[in-house]
């Protein structure tokens, strides 16, 4: 059976299931933004904190959302996979879409190239993953787009031939060594939020102080933004943590709050995100208004949705969400976990080598 047929069969099955079962509502990035905005604008004190904690809970994908979790999960998953099929099973279609176009690769870091771990300082990527990314970058312009501080992510990835967009795209740097695809943008550096540096530093220090007595809380300075991790905080203390973060944020109206995987992220209110970084990099590579390019963006987080949305709006490129559970997303395809990302990258390299006269892909 071909992949296409596979999808068709799944589609029919899942439609049947969907009719007979209630559909779980997943919590989308838009829902989260709306919820935060509404609470900020209309509520005060305790109610506002409750809303924060609700958002923190809702962002936890391990939660069961039904009285009949097994059935609902099956329904959700099979219907979701029809609309967001595996980028591995659809590999042939993906490379077919690149015919006559230049693939440009965009890769998120945490949860995409490295598995999610409790300690953010130990989110190392494997040697095999590094080799896969290095090989991809030999054939295609490649950028790491991350919420992390740029230097920190470089210390994990350790590859010099790539573009790095740290702090959710607010700190962009071109490859440090010469590479064949660069078009005169050696030393490229773009920092649209540089004026916020002293403020972010101040907020980081205040947050460290305010959260030091909350067991498991960790504050990370990502240069142009700050992360407050609650992965290791007892759920009973989430309200206290949210209250402390709010008390600091209240003093900085030019900063806003977003949320990632068990992390509160504080960043400047400027109109810049991973999607804008993607557009900036395409322009830097000479593909601003070009039809000759196929951007592929792989990411696992809410912040990656900004980039998926840009691809959707451009009607160009391929968004791939890394997730084991169904989520509302602007991505077209899915991969379950970093090991599948590695497989996808390897396939891409094998296909490219084959198309240049090498051995056929495995």
Ligand X SMILES: O=P(O)(O)OC[C@H]1O[C@H](O[C@H]2O[C@H](CO)[C@@H](O)[C@H](O)[C@H]2O)[C@H](O)[C@@H](O)[C@@H]1O
Catalytic residues: 108
Quote the CA–CA distance of 283 and 295 in Å, as a whole number: 12
Asked if 146 interacts with ligand X (CB under 6 A), we say: yes
Check residue 260 and report its DSSP letter: E
Is 76 or 304 the residue whose CB approaches ligand X more closely? Answer: 304
Is 182 or 274 the residue whose CB approaches ligand X more closely? Answer: 274
- Which of the ranges 21-29, 124-132, 142-150, 351-359 carries the binding residues for ligand X, by CB under 6 A? 142-150
Q: Which residues contact 74 (CB under 8 A, 6 or more apart)?
A: 17
Cβ–Cβ under 8 Å, residues 277 and 165: yes
Quote the CA–CA distance of 258 and 66 in Å, as a whole number: 27
Is 205 or 231 the residue whose CB approaches ligand X more closely? Answer: 231
Is 82 or 228 the residue whose CB approaches ligand X more closely? Answer: 228
- Which of the ranges 31-39, 47-55, 111-119, 196-204 carries the binding residues for ligand X, by CB under 6 A? 111-119
* Residues constituting the chain: 362
HSE, side-chain direction, 13 A CA sphere, residue 5: 2
- Which of the ranges 22-30, 258-266, 276-284, 353-361 carries the binding residues for ligand X, by CB under 6 A? 258-266
The only residue of 29, 111, 192, 326 in contact with ligand X, by rule CB under 6 A: 111
Is 109 or 272 the residue whose CB approaches ligand X more closely? Answer: 109
Check residue 258 and report its DSSP letter: E
- Residue 133 CB, nearest approach to ligand X (Å): 13
Is 294 or 307 the residue whose CB approaches ligand X more closely? Answer: 307
- Residue 23 CB, nearest approach to ligand X (Å): 28
Asked if 76 interacts with ligand X (CB under 6 A), we say: no
Number of shown-chain residues binding ligand X (CB under 6 A): 24
The only residue of 117, 189, 197, 288 in contact with ligand X, by rule CB under 6 A: 117
Written as one string, the DSSP assignment of 53-109 is HHHHHHT-TT---SSSHHHHHHHHHHHHHHHS-BTTTTHHHHHHHTTTSEEEEEE--
The only residue of 102, 261, 314, 353 in contact with ligand X, by rule CB under 6 A: 261
* Cα radius of gyration rounded to whole Å, the chain: 21
Quote the CA–CA distance of 23 and 111 in Å, as a whole number: 27
Quote the CA–CA distance of 304 and 328 in Å, as a whole number: 12
**Cross-strand bridge partners of residue 259:** 264
Is 228 or 348 the residue whose CB approaches ligand X more closely? Answer: 228
- Residue 311 CB, nearest approach to ligand X (Å): 17
HSE, side-chain direction, 13 A CA sphere, residue 9: 6
- Residue 303 CB, nearest approach to ligand X (Å): 6
The only residue of 81, 94, 106, 108 in contact with ligand X, by rule CB under 6 A: 108
Check residue 263 and report its DSSP letter: E
Written as one string, the DSSP assignment of 94-116 is HHHHTTTSEEEEEE--BTTTB--
- Which of the ranges 3-11, 226-234, 243-251, 350-358 carries the binding residues for ligand X, by CB under 6 A? 226-234
Asked if 148 interacts with ligand X (CB under 6 A), we say: yes
Please give the structure tokens belonging to residue 58.
């809702």
The only residue of 13, 101, 130, 262 in contact with ligand X, by rule CB under 6 A: 262
Check residue 295 and report its DSSP letter: E
The only residue of 59, 78, 86, 303 in contact with ligand X, by rule CB under 6 A: 303
Closest to 242 in 3D by CA, of 213, 218, 211 = 211
Asked if 231 interacts with ligand X (CB under 6 A), we say: yes
Asked if 222 interacts with ligand X (CB under 6 A), we say: yes
Asked if 123 interacts with ligand X (CB under 6 A), we say: yes
Residues that bind ligand X (CB under 6 A): 108-111, 116-118, 120, 123, 146-148, 220, 222, 227, 229, 231, 260-263, 265, 301, 303
């Amino acid at each position: 059976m071909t992949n296409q047929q596979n999808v068709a069969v799944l589609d029919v099955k899942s439609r049947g299931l969907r009719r007979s079962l209630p559909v779980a509502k997943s919590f989308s990035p838009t829902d989260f933004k709306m919820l935060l905005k509404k609470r900020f604008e209309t509520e005060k004190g305790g109610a506002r904190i409750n809303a924060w904690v609700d958002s923190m809970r809702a962002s936890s994908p391990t939660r069961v959302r039904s009285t009949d979790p097994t059935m609902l999960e099956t329904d959700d998953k099979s219907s979701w996979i029809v609309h967001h099929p595996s980028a591995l099973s659809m590999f042939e279609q993906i490379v077919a879409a690149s015919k006559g176009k230049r693939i440009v690769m965009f890769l998120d870091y945490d949860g995409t190239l490295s598995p999610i771990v409790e300690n953010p300082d130990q989110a190392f990527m494997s040697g095999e993953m590094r080799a896969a990314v290095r090989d991809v970058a030999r054939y295609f312009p490649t950028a790491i787009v991350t919420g992390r501080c740029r230097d920190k992510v470089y210390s994990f990835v350790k590859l010099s031939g790539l573009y790095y967009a740290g702090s959710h795209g607010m700190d962009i740097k071109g490859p440090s060594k010469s590479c064949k695809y660069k078009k005169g943008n050696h030393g490229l550096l773009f920092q649209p939020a540089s004026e916020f540096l002293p403020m972010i530093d101040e907020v980081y220090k205040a947050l460290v102080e305010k959260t030091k007595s909350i067991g498991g809380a960790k504050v990370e300075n990502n240069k142009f933004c700050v992360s407050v991790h609650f992965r290791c905080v007892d759920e009973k203390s989430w309200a206290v943590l949210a209250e402390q973060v709010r008390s600091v944020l209240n003093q900085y109206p030019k900063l806003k709050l977003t949320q990632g995987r068990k992390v509160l992220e504080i960043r400047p209110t400027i109109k810049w995100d991973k999607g804008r970084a993607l557009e900036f990099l395409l322009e830097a590579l000479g593909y601003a208004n070009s039809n000759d390019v196929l951007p592929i963006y792989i990411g696992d987080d809410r912040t990656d949705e900004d980039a998926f949305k840009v691809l959707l709006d451009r009607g160009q490129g391929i968004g791939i969400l890394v997730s084991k559970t169904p989520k509302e997303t602007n991505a077209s395809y899915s991969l379950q976990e970093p090991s599948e990302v590695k497989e996808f990258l390897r396939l891409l390299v094998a296909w490219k080598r084959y198309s240049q006269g090498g051995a056929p892909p495995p």
